[in-house]
Amino acid sequence: MKNQLKTILLLGLLSALLIGIGGVVAPQHLYLFVGLALAMNVVSYFFSDGLVLKMHGAREVAADEAPRLHELVQELSDNAGIPKPRLFLIPAEYANAFARAAVRHVVPGR
C-alpha cells in the first residue's frame, strides 16, 4: 500500500509539474499539457511493466524450461494468497542475490 501511495504521489507531482510549466510557457495551450499529463499517466499505468521488460530484452521462462523455479514461485504465491506471476529472464552479465538464489535451485550442479 505504501508503494502505491508513493507511485500516485510521484505521478501526481510529475503531472502537476508538466501542467504548471505548460501553463506558464503557453497558457493558451493548457489543454494540450493536461492531455499530455493524462496520456503519461495512462501509459505508465498500463504499459510500464512491458516497457521495462522490452528495454532489458527480457523473455518469459516457460514452465518446462525451469520447472523447479515455477514450483517455488507457485508455492510462494500460494502462501502469500496472490496469483502466480509470470516469470521473465533478463540476459545480463551481472546478477543480484535473488537471481543467484534462483539459479542455484534451477540449474543442477551450481
Residue 44 carries which side chain, given as an amino acid letter? S
How far lies 78's CA from each of 46, 63, 100, in Å? 25, 17, 23
Please state, in angstroms and rounded to a whole number, the distance separating the CA atoms of residues 84 and 70: 9
The mean-pLDDT minimum among 17-31, 42-56, 92-106 falls in 92-106
- Residue 99 pLDDT: 53
Whether residue 109 is predicted with pLDDT greater than 60 in this model: the reply is: no
Q: What tens digit of pLDDT does each residue of 30-59 get?
A: 999 999 999 999 998 889 888 888 988 889
- Residue 105 pLDDT: 44
Burial class (CB in 10 A: 0-12, 13-18, 19+), 82: exposed
- The residues spanned by each domain of the chain are 2-47, 59-106
Q: Which residues pair with 60 in a beta bridge?
A: 88
